[in-house]
Amino acid sequence: MFMEQTQHLEKENAALSQELKEINDLDEFASLEGKINKELETDLKEAVKSSEAQRLELQALFEELTKKTEFAEELQKMSGKDLVQEVTKLRCSLDDAEGVSRDTKKEWAFLQSENMSLEELNVLTAEVESVGVERDNLLSEKESISRSHLEEMEKLRLSLSEENNQLREELEGLREEKQLREELEDRAEMLQAEIGELNITLKTLTEQNQQQLEKVSSTQELLKTAQDELSEQRRVKSDLEKRMEEKESRLSLKINDLVQSLRGVEAERDGLLREMETSQQTFKEELQEVLSRVSSLGEERARLQEALEGLREEKRQLGEELEDRTRMMSAVQEKLSQQEQWSLQLQERDAELKREVQHLEEELQTQTEQQARAKAEADASQLMLTEAKATISTLKRQLDGLEQNAEGVEVISSQLQDSSSQLQECFGRFQELKDAISKYKSPDKALRRQRSLMNALLSSLPRATVASYGAVHQLGMQTVQNFLDIRMRLHLQAVDCKRLFEELVRKDLAIFEEKRVQDLLLSRAEAPPHAIGDVDFRSLWGPRLCELLDKRRLHLQKMQSIAEKLQSNMAAHVDNERAEICEEEKFTEQLEGAISSQPISFPNLDCVLSQEAGRRSATVQTSRLSLQLLVSEQNNLLDELKQLGAEGESQLREEESKSATLLRALEGAPLKKEVSLLRDNQQLVLQLQRAEENIKMLHVQMEELEEIRMEANHSVSQHKEATQLLQTELQDSRALVQEKDDTIQTLKNKLRASETNAPPSAAEQERLRHKLFQMELKLNLASDQHKLEIQRMNTVLREKEASLRSLKEALRKLQQQGEEPVLQGKELYARLTNPREVVIESSIALEKTKLEEKVQQLQLKITELESVGLGQKAEISKWKSRAIKLKGKSKAEVDRTPPSSPTKRGYTFSSDSDHHLNSPMNKILVTPKKVLESPRKPLDSPKMSLLDTPKNKFLDMAGGSDLLSSGFPKQFFDNSSLGAFADKDGPKE
């Protein structure tokens, strides 16, 4: 892309130089142009070189990133042994490279020592002293890191205490489940009371059997039904007892598991305390070792000195590059200012040449066009400068990245606190839902009331009625049981969701803390004591904090959705229970009404029972379906959360194993390969994160560039539409002018025909001749003005087309520049909208306003022409009526003369037409026509000016010819037909 632009610019420069040399003959002007071209060429070459260097740098960075990503993918694909072998190979190659670099450094140091002066020796001594100061700083930083390690251990102890609190909360949940078990026991006691009531009814039935021998068969059937109910109730009771036993066994197992986990946690806490004590002892020993290593710092001082010299050289090179670029920018800006001054001077020179030499106007126009091209070149060089500024700003952003990372970590830590508070709010919401579900108790007084009503009448009811009542009662028990199961499921869902989400949050936080511990251990295990302070933990912990925040946001969204669904399910369940209670109360009222009537109408009672049985079967079905849906949703949700928990647990174990290996490496075990692998893995993860961020930024920039391109296309389309509208209006105006010319020609022909056919009087003829002369003059003026207007509109159209072509060319250049990878989206937008660079939108707006003004002017002219045409129409109608009257009058005079034949008819063109043509009357009629030919000569002269005369306004009308033809078709100037109107027109005159 850069090469194409440079070639294009060089070609344009060559064309400019040739055109300027051909046009300008003066020596001073040619010298100035040569200087300008040379400076522009040098500036463009420098800009192209800098842009090419920047492109190469970006390409090298991109290649390094791709190599690192490929290396990371290969590392992920390899197994553990392959990784170890690859790392050993890499280390061998690194050792070889380090050996070569050391040899080269030794040779360079030997050569440098020979050429070293006394001043450089002094500088080295000062640097040695600064190294000693840096050593002291590193020792102090190591002490601070040890303190931070102790603080991290204290945080681990606090996290253990928080886990103890969580276990206590789980015990409280078990207690709540125990309360639910007590409620189930109360329910069993209620069932036992119902069994006692049924036993009492059996006793009453046996007494009634002894008293009423006639109803033995009916009482036996009632006994059978009662025994069936007793067997069903006993079966239900046994099922409930089995469920209770299973739940008690589960609860006991859970309690044992919790006790064992508590014991394991206590053992882990004791082990951690012991490890803390051992780590403190090892830390003291390490301090003693550090004191012993102070003597070995002399050897490492040379290495540090070499590293410092390399860093200083790189810093000096970067500074020189920045200074060179700033100088280039200042030089280019100065040259641009000089170029603007020269352009002003050139404009003044052009003005002088216009005043002095008029016959060179066309050449001066070409010269101004070339100056515009030079300005475009200057704008292009300014664009290159802006691109260089953009690259410098990117380098500055990369230099200021560390400070921004620190501020970003502080912001993320505040966001982490906010997310923890939001998590606590969600946990509190789950707790409130759990409490609300456990406190709510569904009343079943309506069922007891129904049983108390029917127990007294079971003996007097027929067998079918008793069976239907038993079915209704059984359905009611099933609905109550379904409602209890739904409430139990909702309570368990709230408890399980709260517990699982708390575990997920705790595991995420533990993983984050483990990674931080790994960073500290890696910095202690891998680096020597003097390099502890070089590790930037903020750059490592910032992306991890962001990742932790993202996970917490996802957890919060899931928890909020689950809590809302639980709340909606609970509200729906409560509404269903209340509706069921209302229906059961209505049923009891209907039962009371049916039973209170004496005698009891059994058909009505059967009808009420059948209706209630249908309703209760429907409610049982719906409650069962809702229970199944709730169970399936709960199972899916628990499976998902358990899978997430298992993934977190496996990741936590992996991180704990990594930290354990690092601890073993610190204790003295030979684990250098594992430590190096962990460090490489960490670096690769950071590089992948940075690459992903860069890709996101590139996507955002691409979207911004696409939006800018769409806006530019939209503006171009609007400009095209405006030009098309102007072209259509111009074509319409041309068509109107052509129609008016046609009408003028037809009117001329009709006037000639009327002159040949109507012989007016001499005075009238003279007056008409004078009028016709004036009208022809006005007609010529109007036609000349129309021609001038058409020419002017053509010139305007050509100017608009030229401006449209220039705008298209500018848009094409902008689109080509928008495809460059170096430009940023906002900078490109600023470059497009900045009036000091390429003023595109302002020019489009000006063109649009000019076109709108032109359209308004044309509309005003059209309205004026229409009004003038109406006036001319009235005037032509007046002249037409006068011509008709004159012809009628002449016909009447001809009729008054003696006839030329005995028939007394009007004069007709017959065999003696030649005689008539040679008559004196014909000569009199012919002579005015010859006189009228003289005013027609100015019609062809093109030097007439346009005046708004009535004749012109009439002739501009499109339908003037149709008025005459529609009023009097074909026979308007026929002398034979005019004789019929002589009597009518004579008295009016």
How do residues 251-267 score in pLDDT, each as one tens digit?
778 777 777 777 777 77
Q: Are residues 833 and 962 in the same domain?
A: yes
Q: Which of 649, 670, 691 is the last residue of a domain?
A: 670
Q: Are residues 522 and 666 in the same domain?
A: yes
Lowest mean pLDDT among 248-252, 353-357, 602-606, 763-767: 353-357
Q: List all residues 6 or more positions away from 148 whose beta carbon is below 8 Å from its beta carbon.
A: 520
**Please, which pLDDT band fits residue 719 given cuts at 50, 70 and 90?**
confident
Q: Which two tokens stand for residue 795?
A: 């010139």
Q: What percent of the chain has pLDDT over 70?
A: 52
The answer as to whether 855 is a domain residue is: yes
Mean pLDDT, range 133-142, rounded to an integer: 68
pLDDT score for 227: 73
Q: Are residues 415 and 558 in the same domain?
A: yes
The answer as to whether 463 is a domain residue is: yes
Mean pLDDT, range 655-684, rounded to an integer: 69
pLDDT score for 956: 46
The answer as to whether 731 is a domain residue is: yes
For residues 984 and 988, what is the distance between their CA atoms, to the nearest angstrom? 7
The answer as to whether 298 is a domain residue is: no
Q: Which two tokens stand for residue 733?
A: 């105006």
CA angle 858, 859, 860 (to 5 degrees): 90
Q: Are residues 819 and 876 in the same domain?
A: yes
**Please, which pLDDT band fits residue 27 given cuts at 50, 70 and 90?**
low
> In 897-919, where does DSSP find H-type helix?
913-917
Higher per-residue confidence, 1 vs 288: 288
- pLDDT tens by residue, 769-798: 787 788 878 777 877 877 787 888 788 878
CB neighbours of residue 501 within 10 Å: 22
Note the Cα 267 to chain centre separation in Å: 54
Model confidence at 83: pLDDT above 80: no
Higher per-residue confidence, 217 vs 369: 369
**Please, which pLDDT band fits residue 442 given cuts at 50, 70 and 90?**
low
Q: Are residues 717 and 785 in the same domain?
A: yes
Cβ–Cβ under 8 Å, residues 944 and 775: no
Note the Cα 121 to chain centre separation in Å: 62
CB neighbours of residue 650 within 10 Å: 11
**Please, which pLDDT band fits residue 166 given cuts at 50, 70 and 90?**
confident
Q: Are residues 405 and 515 in the same domain?
A: yes
Give the total number of structural domains in the chain: 2
Q: Which residue is associated with the tokens 């859970």?
A: 254
pLDDT score for 961: 42
**Please, which pLDDT band fits residue 112 given cuts at 50, 70 and 90?**
low
Q: What percent of the chain has pLDDT over 90?
A: 0
- Quick one: the chain helix, strand, coil %, rounded to 5? 90, 0, 10
**Please, which pLDDT band fits residue 931 given cuts at 50, 70 and 90?**
very low
For residues 779 and 791, what is the distance between their CA atoms, to the nearest angstrom? 18
Model confidence at 181: pLDDT above 60: yes
Own/partner contacts of 504-509, CB < 8 Å, gap of 24 or more, are 504/555, 504/641, 504/644, 504/645, 504/648, 505/423, 505/552, 505/555, 506/162, 506/163, 506/166, 507/645, 507/648, 507/649, 507/651, 507/652, 508/548, 508/551, 508/552, 508/648, 509/159, 509/548
Top-ranked range on mean pLDDT: pick from 182-191, 345-354, 393-402, 556-565: 556-565
Lowest mean pLDDT among 613-627, 677-691, 759-773, 904-918: 904-918
Lowest mean pLDDT among 420-434, 642-656, 957-971: 957-971
**Please, which pLDDT band fits residue 399 given cuts at 50, 70 and 90?**
low
Q: Which two tokens stand for residue 43?
A: 């500036």
**Please, which pLDDT band fits residue 102 given cuts at 50, 70 and 90?**
low
pLDDT score for 790: 80
For residues 586 and 623, what is the distance between their CA atoms, to the nearest angstrom? 20
pLDDT score for 957: 46
List the domain range (segments joined by +) for residue 966: 710-894+917-988
Q: Which two tokens stand for residue 550?
A: 């993202």
**Please, which pLDDT band fits residue 284 given cuts at 50, 70 and 90?**
confident
Query: Among residues 430, 399, 548, 444, which one has the least CA distance to residue 493?
Result: 430
pLDDT score for 899: 47
Model confidence at 909: pLDDT above 60: no
pLDDT score for 781: 83
Model confidence at 491: pLDDT above 50: yes
970: phi > 0 → left, psi -120 to 50 → alpha, else beta; which? Answer: left
**Please, which pLDDT band fits residue 761 given cuts at 50, 70 and 90?**
low
Q: Which two tokens stand for residue 82?
A: 């392959």
pLDDT score for 589: 77
Lowest mean pLDDT among 265-279, 370-384, 616-630, 846-860: 370-384
Q: Which two tokens stand for residue 124?
A: 């080295």
pLDDT score for 378: 64
> In 758-840, where does DSSP find H-type helix?
762-818, 825-833
pLDDT score for 939: 40
The answer as to whether 207 is a domain residue is: no
Mean pLDDT, range 392-398, rounded to an integer: 57
Query: Among residues 861, 663, 886, 669, which one has the least CA distance to residue 764?
Result: 886
Mean pLDDT, range 955-982, rounded to an integer: 44
Lowest mean pLDDT among 227-231, 637-641, 985-989: 985-989
* Average of per-residue pLDDT values in the chain: 68
Q: Which residue is associated with the tokens 């020792």?
A: 139
Own/partner contacts of 798-807, CB < 8 Å, gap of 24 or more, are 800/723, 800/726, 800/847, 800/851, 801/723, 803/843, 803/847, 804/719, 804/720, 804/723, 807/716, 807/719, 807/840, 807/843, 807/844, 807/847
Note the Cα 770 to chain centre separation in Å: 77
Q: Are residues 666 and 728 in the same domain?
A: no
The answer as to whether 265 is a domain residue is: no
**Please, which pLDDT band fits residue 819 given cuts at 50, 70 and 90?**
very low
Q: Are residues 598 and 717 in the same domain?
A: no
CB neighbours of residue 588 within 10 Å: 19
pLDDT score for 531: 43
Higher per-residue confidence, 753 vs 629: 629
Q: Are residues 590 and 656 in the same domain?
A: yes
CA angle 577, 582, 588 (to 5 degrees): 125
The answer as to whether 746 is a domain residue is: yes
Top-ranked range on mean pLDDT: pick from 165-179, 323-337, 626-640: 626-640
Q: Are residues 664 and 731 in the same domain?
A: no
Mean pLDDT, range 671-680, rounded to an integer: 64
pLDDT score for 393: 64
Note the Cα 238 to chain centre separation in Å: 64
Q: Model's pTM, two decimal places?
A: 0.33
The answer as to whether 356 is a domain residue is: no
Lowest mean pLDDT among 148-152, 624-628, 640-644, 933-937: 933-937
- pLDDT tens by residue, 51-72: 667 667 766 766 766 666 666 5
Q: Which two tokens stand for residue 805?
A: 């072509």
Q: Which two tokens stand for residue 147?
A: 């303190």
Model confidence at 641: pLDDT above 80: yes
Q: Are residues 550 and 598 in the same domain?
A: yes
- pLDDT tens by residue, 559-612: 888 888 888 888 888 888 788 888 877 877 777 777 666 666 677 777 878 888
Model confidence at 983: pLDDT above 50: no
pLDDT score for 863: 77
Mean pLDDT, range 713-739, rounded to an integer: 80
Model confidence at 124: pLDDT above 80: no
Mean pLDDT, range 540-544, rounded to an integer: 69
Q: Are residues 449 and 535 in the same domain?
A: yes
Residue 449 class from Cβ within 10 Å (0-12 exposed, 13-18 middle, 19+ buried)? Answer: middle
pLDDT score for 539: 61
